[in-house]
Amino acid sequence: MEKPNKRPKNILKLDETVVNRIAAGEIIQRPANALKELLENCLDAGSTSIQVTVKDGGLKLMKIQDNGSGINKEDFPIVCERFTTSKLQKFEDLNAIGTFGFRGEALASISHVAHLTIITKTSEMQCAYKCSYHDGKLIGAPKPCAGTQGTQIVVEDLFYNVPTRKNSLKSPSEEHNRIIEVVTRFAVHNASVGFSLKKLNDNGSDVRTSPNSTQEDNIRVLYGHAVAKDLIKLQVEDPGLKVKVNGLISNVDYSGAKFTMLLFINHRLVESTPLKRALDSVYATYLAKGKHPFVYLSIEIAPNCVDVNVHPTKHEVHFLNEDAIIHKIQSSADVLLKAASTSRSFAVQTVIPPISFLDRQQSKVAGAKVYDKQLVRTDSRDQKIDKFLSTTMDSMPSSSSNECSFINQTSMESPEEPVTAVFQQKETEKRTPSEMNRAIQGASDCSDSTMRHRSSVAPGIVERRQFELTSLTQLRENVKKNTDQVLRDTFKDSIFVGCVSEKHCLIQYGTRLYIFRMERVAEEFFYQRFLDEFGNCGVICLSDPPPLYNLALMALDQEENEWRPDDGPKDHLANLASQLLFSKSEMLDDYFSLQINEKRHLVAIPLLLVDYIPDLTQLPSFVLRLASDVEWNVEKDCFDTICRVMARFYRKPNDHEVLNVGSDKDWKWTVEHVLYPAIKASLLPPKTWINDGTILQIADLPDLYKVFERC
């Protein structure tokens, strides 16, 4: 049986509309592709401000407004026709192309799959003109309208005539996220241009950057401080390869869940899988498994070495010496990361026990089983942190009679009876802080001035004075009002673990371990203490009282007080400080037990805690700050600033605090047995400590058990 003779089908020329829609489908794959093309046109026009408004992920509406050069009126009829462009005239121009667009297909493709409207105005036009386009053709004549310098392009009902493409797209929210990603990447690279992106009828903006900012600033705004703080600059230049690279890459402290790479080659937003793979392999050496970096790179290559016409959407380019350039970038990144990996920074979160934690602790059922991870050492006499730390005091030379004389305590029969420290010096002339510290001698010379009672009462009985001052009451109320109760409970029920350094201490609360800044906590404690003991402070007498003038002059010689010649002669400033404090001596003595005699010598300082004497090497700075940092004219501000200056002086105990001759008790003993018990008893921690790093949680027993279980 003979087979039927099959006749070949005739080759037909496609209709122009079909051709245009097929081409449009290649170039405009989704709303984000259309937006990318339009943003590049805005940048080619020299815009410094670009505003994008979208609806339903750009499918219903996409409006782009710029302040660029605009479109000439005579170009209106052909602006949306295919292969009409102002960027090149012949094929050889591609070898030196310096603009984003060059094919003239973006507006043409959009007009074939959406309703397109253009409103534009150049600097030479008297008014703006509005044009509507369909399938690349101008509909009607351009209409004059009001408008500003630049161009506004409105794209409506994208893919209205390509239902298959429209149905294949994901949800509007997903398309909107892709638009955000495109605008964000352009905003980072083009830092001199202000970008904004928002949804229609939405007051807030999804993306907003300022003109004339920097890449670092825009990364901080758009990707967050967590990314921006860990960036390092990458710079590569090789004249032989005709390449120059500038970028910002994350260091070893940053690790993201996915690889974020912003790549611009000759200012085009593109992708490069080989480069991304090469950088990822470098970071794999420094980051944990499953963690990835953040990379922003701007690569400039000679235009004649780049082929930009290799992809319909232009998101890929080819260039000469690609392997060599990638290796150069990879090596430079490796060098930077290796240098940065010598030390690492870890973010510490300020954590305090939540209310739920307190409730859980109080709601435990009696007799319920207690697991090992909930057991806590509560006996402070047990093993201490000092066993594991080499103390700085051990390495210090032992004090001798010609180096340092220690404080000798008077009779301490009752806790209310304060200690007397005597400040002796053979010469009353100008002395150094170390000399002042060495001058501390026995207290028996001044035992009759240990406590000056404020009223005539029986010997040995201290009667507290009450003050009904509005300013004082307001200061005390402010302290109570700003108190954080959870922090208060944390300090109140905590156990002192030990001193990490002179500035940091460890405490334990429940199953949690905290580190806090000792000086900041002590300063706030003494500030509150001065408010509570207002007019009722004890007295620490100084033998051979030092002149205020000498103390102020000594402080001006110290670099920390930042004296400048513009401030005036030191002796004149010291004399003014001495006069001012002497004129306020009656008030300082009555309210704060700061005694100044008629010779303008400092006779005594306040006693707030038994067995506690502040660091006397800071006495010169204390006198200078008391004269310069106090607001003397307003009562409330006066009391507040005096207490602040006093608290700053008292926050650090004397470095060689010894209560009896031959005792080995040092400043650590004072902090643990004198200062911190008082802090536990009465400190009202302010709410600001929650966020400013004053107290930080560094460990939690249940969490540690989880780590050990995984091991």
> pLDDT, tens digit, for every residue of 627-663?
888 888 999 999 999 999 999 999 988 865 444 434 5
Say whether pLDDT at 311 is over 70. no
| Cβ proximity of 580 and 645 under 8 Å | no
CA-nearest of 338, 343, 300 to 319 is 300
Q: Which 3-state string (H, E, C) describes 356-399? A: HHHHHHHCCCCCCCCCHHHCCCCCCCCCCHHHHCCCCCCCCCCC
Q: For residue 96, what pLDDT is reported?
A: 52
Residue with the bigger pLDDT between 299 and 311: it is 299
The answer to whether residue 504 scores a pLDDT higher than 80 is yes
Q: Quick one: which of 460, 597, 457 has its CA closest to 541? A: 597
Residue in 87, 97, 72 with CA at minimum distance from that of residue 41: 87
Q: What is the pLDDT of residues 340-374, one digit of tens each?
A: 877 666 555 555 544 444 444 444 444 556 565 56
The tens digit of pLDDT for each residue in 123-173 reads 999 999 999 998 888 999 999 999 999 999 999 999 888 888 888 888 899
Whether the per-residue pLDDT at 104 is higher than 60: the answer is: no
Contact between 611 and 670 (Cβ < 8 Å): yes
| Phi, psi for residue 509 in degrees, rounded to 5 | -135, 110
Q: State what percent of residues in the chain have pLDDT above 70.
A: 73
Residue 253 confidence (pLDDT) above 80:
yes
Is residue 386 scored above 70 in pLDDT?
A: no
Which whole number is the average pLDDT over 493-497? Answer: 89
Instruction: Check residue 185 and give its pLDDT.
Output: 95
41-55, 188-202, 279-293, 375-389: which range is least confident on average? 375-389
Cα-based angle 459, 462, 466 (whole degrees, multiple of 5): 140
Q: In this model, does residue 217 exceed pLDDT 90?
A: yes
The dihedral formed by the CA atoms of 371, 373, 378 and 384, expressed in degrees to the nearest 10? 150
Residue 272 has pLDDT above 70, yes or no: yes
Residue of 4 and 561 predicted with greater confidence: 561
CB of 574 within 8 A of CB of 549? yes
- Residue 90, classified by CB atoms within 10 Å of its CB into exposed (0-12), middle (13-18) or buried (19+), is exposed
pLDDT attached to residue 329:
93
How does residue 255 score in pLDDT terms, banded at 50, 70 and 90? Answer: confident
pLDDT at residue 548 greater than cutoff 80 = yes
Residue 21's pLDDT band, with cuts at 50, 70 and 90, is low
- What's the pLDDT at 119? 95
Prediction pTM value: 0.52
Residue 244 banded pLDDT, cuts 50, 70, 90: very high
Q: Say whether pLDDT at 688 is over 50.
A: yes
Cα(340)–Cα(345) distance, integer angstroms: 10
Which region holds residue 48: left if phi is over 0, alpha if psi is between -120 and 50, else beta?
alpha
With contact defined as beta carbons under 8 Å apart, do 297 and 326 qualify?
no
pLDDT of the residue at 166: 85
As a whole number, mean pLDDT of residues 215-227 equals 92
For residue 610, the model assigns a pLDDT of 86
Give yes or no for residue 107 having a pLDDT over 90: no
Predicted local confidence at residue 50, as pLDDT: 95
59 near 159, Cβ under 8 Å? yes
| Nearest C-alpha neighbor of 496 from the set 390, 664, 379 | 379
* Strand ranges for 557-690 from DSSP E: 595-596, 602-607
**Residue 303: pLDDT band with limits 50, 70, 90:** confident
Distance CA 305, CA 302 (A): 5
Cα gap 611→418, rounded to integer Å: 8
- Which pLDDT band holds residue 92 (cuts at 50, 70, 90)? low
SS3 (DSSP) at 636: helix
Token reading at 141: 């004549």
Instruction: Name the residue with tokens 């030479």.
Output: 124
Asked if residue 316 has pLDDT above 80, the reply is: no
pLDDT at 401: 34
Lowest mean pLDDT across 10-14, 80-84, 553-557: 10-14
pLDDT at 155: 94
Report the pLDDT value the prediction gives residue 437, as an integer from 0 to 100. Answer: 41
Query: Mapping DSSP to helix (H, G, I), strand (E, B) and coil, where does residue 70 land?
Result: coil
- pLDDT tens digits, one per residue of 397-423: 333 333 333 333 332 333 333 333 333
Q: What is the pLDDT of residue 362?
A: 44
pLDDT for res 8: 76
Q: Which of 23-32, 394-403, 460-469 has the lowest average pLDDT?
A: 394-403
The chain-wide mean pLDDT, for the chain, equals 78
* Burial bucket for residue 613 (CB in 10 Å: 0-12, 13-18, 19+): buried
Predicted local distance difference test score (pLDDT) of residue 426: 31
Section 15-25 average pLDDT: 62
* Token pair recorded at residue 702: 């249940």
Single-letter amino acid code for the residue at 144: P
Mean pLDDT, range 560-569, rounded to an integer:
80
The predicted structure's pLDDT at residue 449: 35
Band (pLDDT 50/70/90 cuts) for residue 279 is very high
Q: What percent of the chain has pLDDT over 90?
A: 37
Average of per-residue pLDDT across 552-578? 84
